[in-house]
Chains A and B, each alone.
Chain A
Amino acid sequence: MKPVRTITGRAVPLDRSDVDTDQIIPASWLKKVERTGFGQGLFSEWRDDRDFVLNKAEYAGATILVAGPNFGTGSSREHAVWALTDYGFEAVISPRFGDIFRNNSTKAGLLPVQVSAEVGKALLEAVEADPSLEITIDLERLRLEAPAAGIEASFPLDPFTQHRLLEGLDDIGLTLRFGAEIDAYEPTRPSWLPAVTA
């Protein structure tokens, strides 16, 4: 995974709540067996509407998505994260994320930035008013800043995930350092637990 330190860019305002992962990437896209090429499927049903915000020229090239609360609820499909990153997004800002989506994001290098409802609303309004507004997200300081709009906020992230993203560390590699602990745990499992041979 590529290290993430600072993300600076323009944002797309998606002023909708409860954007579920079925909307982010419809199920018809989940048949692919590769990890790439999902950007085309991002919000594909909504993008058929010419007025959908992603189709507006003034938001082209934006790298941050600002959404309403409960973003990424529903299905566990990591394809939703792959679609966002493949399209060019590096961070999503929302007052609340679905748990699985949030986890998937941090595994796949997309930064979930959780802000208060007030900051979320202020950002949506600011980006709608000025599509060229620049937002900076500093992962080291856990700060979000949009100086031109006078918006500043901190956001939460556990120190482990922060460190992992800053260093671009492979999660599995980190766990494999604890091979001895896993080896020690296994014999303590109850004998009746199921095992299925191929």
Chain B
Amino acid sequence: MSNTGSPATLAEKVWQRHIVRSGDGEPDLLYIDLHLVHEVTSPQAFDGIRLAGRGVRRPELTVATMDHNVPTTGLGQPLSDPISARQMEVLATNCAEFGIRLFAMGDANQGIVHIIGPELGLTQPGMTVVCGDSHTSTHGAFGALAFGIGTSEVEHVLATQTLPQARPQTMAVTVDGALPVGVTAKDVVLAIIGRLGTGGGIGHVIEYRGSAIKALSMEGRMTVCNMSIEAGARAGMVAPDDTTFSYIEGRQYAPKGHDWEDALDDWRSLATDEGARFDKHVQMDASSLAPHVTWGTNPGQVVRLDEAIPDPESFPEPAARESGERALAYMGLQAGTPMREVKVDTVFIGSCTNARIEDLRLAAAVLEGHTVAPGLRALVVPGSGQVKIQAEKEGLDTVFINAGFEWRNPGCSMCLAMNPDKLAPGERCASTSNRNFEGRQGRGGRTHLVSPAVAAATAVAGHFASPEDLQ
């Protein structure tokens, strides 16, 4: 990234205004505006500051929730897993000791950390946001520089509210044109990852640009930024605009009154300047996109729903051939099988990628008047307490339940199966989550990543399907 003076990208501007200190041959020391914390990656960090006799520098810039372990049924009952229960208790104790606001299980604002931040108005343009979770890239949808960190870095931010970081390179991913009907933000990002591969974004911050990105809602932009890490990029960003501002306005922690006007003036200056240089460019045509489904064990192993499972033999790279063959063996699939002929056992609608209200509306609209295929297990896990409340207000819960879905309480749930929601070995799942890694949703489980619309249609058809297939 270049320094100030010359035309700058959005990422460079946000980076520049957070430099506390920079020295030759050293990473920049960045100030962190918002530190989100959850129960899994924080206990050892709190232990670390306690052991060193350090405190939390800015508890009021630190917000915690419980999401990874929380059960999605039996709210208020003791947890069936005592180890999960202990991890959640430890978070509660740490937050109480250091004066950190915690949205605990049962709180109306509890939910997946990347869903509640934006929902509460905590995520704002131009901020630096970190969390001990790789999907922190979600918050970049607001024009914030947001990235996942490890537990040592969590400890660092708790103690100093800063983080030494090497300057990343910048990548522009431009998606121009209009998305065809039935193609969603999830399909856009799956197509991008298919193009870049799992390592293509390593060392880069991606800025998503172009008319198709500008036309997305905030929910859609969050879905796209969320999966930046699946292409290896630690952060993904979208320049803030009126869509961003109207999403933020009036939320609990959004600027009010005079501050709101000042903030708007500032936020409008964040967009990438004309003539700013990116280290890498990727161009995509929105009108050529279609619904996508992953077939393998990383999110880059993806095809269009109307395609067949590829033959790894046809891949030019030996490493890709080998990993493709391993993936097919794990997934129990044959090259050449049309995706639409692959039957699924379970459908999971949820996760920080696709459990916002718009996702649930989309899935419910597909399900209206339909029922899930016989023998198929289907669950919806809203991303937060607020999403759940809103969905129930709109009657979406009834649509899901009438169609044969289970309507659950908020949490990460089957995205990573740390709570009781898991796949059995060999079970095949159409999932709106973000990772189809081996064992991700339960040991031996077979995950296919899809959009909420495809997930809903697949639940009805019993095999991979798009909403049009149901008509």
Contacts and interface: CB of A to CB of B under 8 A. Distances in A.
B159 A176 contact: yes
B27 A100 contact: no
B122 A194 contact: yes
Given A70-B198, A96-B202, A104 B152 contact: yes
A108 interface: yes
Given A75-B134, A76-B134, A78-B152, A198 B100 contact: yes
Interface string A22-51: 110011101111110000000001000000
Contacts of B100: 198
A74 B319 contact: no
Interface string B117-156: 0000110100100001110100000000000111111011
Interface stretch (A84-92, A129-137, A182-190): A182-190
B328 to A, nearest CB: 14
A70 B202 CA distance: 9
Contacts of A93: none
A97 B232 CA distance: 9
Interface stretch (B29-37, B403-411, B448-456, B463-471): B29-37
A198 B99 contact: yes
Residue among B102, B320, B323 with the highest chain A CB neighbour number at 10 A: B323
B181 interface: no
A195 B259 CA distance: 14
A55 interface: no
Interface in A172-192: 172, 174-176, 178, 181-182, 185-186, 189-192
Contacts of B416: 22, 27, 75
B330 to A, nearest CB: 11
A16 interface: yes
Contacts of B159: 172, 175-176
A63 interface: no
Contacts of B41: 30, 76-78
A39 to B, nearest CB: 16
A16 B326 contact: yes
Interface stretch (B53-61, B170-178, B281-289): B53-61
Interface residues of A, number: 61
A118 interface: no
A31 B101 contact: no
A15 B323 CA distance: 10
Nearest to B127: A193
Contacts of B319: 17, 68-69
A178 B20 CA distance: 9
A142 to B, nearest CB: 14
A159 interface: yes
A189 B33 contact: yes
A189 B124 CA distance: 13
B450 to A, nearest CB: 19
A149 to B, nearest CB: 21
Given A20-B437, A181-B20, A76 B148 contact: yes
Contact of A18 (B133, B134, B198): B198
A78 B155 CA distance: 12
A10 interface: no
A27 B419 CA distance: 10
B259 A192 contact: yes
A20 B155 CA distance: 23
A158 B25 contact: yes
Contacts of B149: 76, 100, 103
Interface string B293-304: 000001010000
Given A73-B199, A172-B52, A175-B29, A31 B83 contact: yes
B63 A196 contact: yes
A99 interface: yes
A76 B133 contact: yes
Contacts of B86: 31, 33
Given A31-B418, A172-B54, A172-B160, A99 B203 contact: yes
A17 B31 CA distance: 35
Contacts of B68: 30
Contacts of A31: 40, 69, 81, 83-84, 86-87, 418
B148 A18 contact: no
A171 interface: yes
A28 B255 contact: no
A81 interface: yes
Given A31-B69, A194-B34, A198-B95, A182 B162 contact: yes
A176 B326 CA distance: 47
A185 B20 CA distance: 6
Contact of A70 (B63, B101, B199, B435): B199
A9 interface: no
Q: Shortest 9 CB-CB distances between A and B: which pairs?
A: A192-B255, A104-B150, A78-B150, A107-B152, A33-B43, A192-B259, A76-B148, A194-B253, A70-B199
27 contacts: A18-B199, A18-B300, A22-B437, A22-B438, A22-B439, A23-B437, A23-B439, A27-B416, A74-B134, A74-B230, A76-B148, A77-B41, A78-B132, A96-B199, A99-B234, A158-B166, A172-B54, A175-B160, A178-B20, A181-B29, A182-B161, A191-B262, A193-B124, A193-B127, A194-B33, A196-B63, A196-B253
Given A99-B234, A192-B263, 20 more contacts: A18-B198, A20-B298, A22-B440, A27-B416, A31-B83, A33-B86, A73-B202, A73-B298, A76-B134, A107-B153, A108-B152, A158-B25, A160-B26, A171-B156, A178-B162, A182-B160, A193-B33, A194-B34, A195-B60, A196-B63
